[in-house]
Structure 1
């Protein structure tokens, strides 16, 4: 079946009320009917509910933007993180198989331990340092183990101009004076709009069905949380100092990789899709949405 026909059959978007889900609902509209499901509509950790929703909608494409993303809380809530991030994707994959749907699922740079010293490729060994990363790795494995057309997109440092994320946190805290931000963890900040547009580009690609699998889908280049905060402050035109601190100065419940930059070469090679640099994407976000 042609790629476009899959979307025209309908898209079931799980996690539609999250920041990524909201962006996907906007960007995917027009490919076909988009059925948005919030956590209240369907808890993806409930196998019976997932199968019932998919049987009712019979979509051509299932997009899973639902996730447990509280990285530090996950250390104390391992069972909840596993139910949503590990078991839920498996339920969605089985449901997709039952109706012949494609599945798009999102994972994270936190499946890596940060010791590679170069951007991570898809075939690099995973070694998560925290429960969140462990749960997301298990979710990847659950999807990729099923014999279906599935796209697992690892992304990084997602943010938007609204909701709860690093950008909005920096803006809020900047009102209280100088910021102290970790300078020794490096990654690739990625707006949810860019990831949503990448998802759309994959779904409409004429060779998509032949190119299913695991891809890294984060903005190009790298910065530290400190560098990202400095760029955010400049973007808002705020006159506030951003002071560098080390990870040791800011202890958290979950350990985080020091360098989790993702290599996007496979996505370009297989599907001709290139994401913008992280700083260009930040500038574009401010130009698009005043």
Structure 2
């Protein structure tokens, strides 16, 4: 079972538009609403793969009730923590060429009591979990060290932690030794405080995060693939993508694939890349099912191409 923690969940509304014109009245060619937030997306991908998952999340107002119902419809058990504020609603506008415009709401401010209630919900479900995936930005009211506290408590209980966050929250949590951290290339550059223009640069940055406490680093390099750096070595993997329809939630699908395949080693990296490649070819923030995956297309190597320039360098 994979337990996910999403301290700032959302409802994600996606509109596919023929074009985006400021000041105009636009008619969507298609639209959908999905339960959102990085940890919630991990749970959705884990459930789509046929594994058990429990989603811990603060929920408030009618939006929170809808989030809980949508997750239940997907067969996901929700350990909802009632909060006074309303669950946020995010909007994504998709143009025909794949360009995305995102509007993310701030979300409710959690009180100290509500923040402690979320930690207590994690503690209650942790004994049954093979992995705990802690994902996303922190809502207002939670200090940067909140994830560090969660990692420390979970490790004391014997749980393994995968952390997908950024900025001060990531830096603070590193000293508690999360089992896996999953930055994208921009978050990786921010964490080490320098630009990254090659795969070799990303490798050095990942090694630095390991030196600062992370036991392993699963770094998403966008269209260039993914990099895994752990005690057994460094591995690099790519997969072809015919058409990018939406990259919303693709990194979350990758983390789900990684954890579902054991959370370590080349096999888990290949699963992560297969899930990410499948996700970007789906509409909105849909998560891939086994039928969407093409594991045979993944190219995996222990010989990291250090001089390979990144398509989208982090500057």
TM range (shorter): 0.3 to 0.5
Higher relative contact order (CA 8 A, sep 6+): 1
Question: Structure 1 or 2: larger helix share?
Answer: 1
TM, length-normalised to structure 2: 0.39
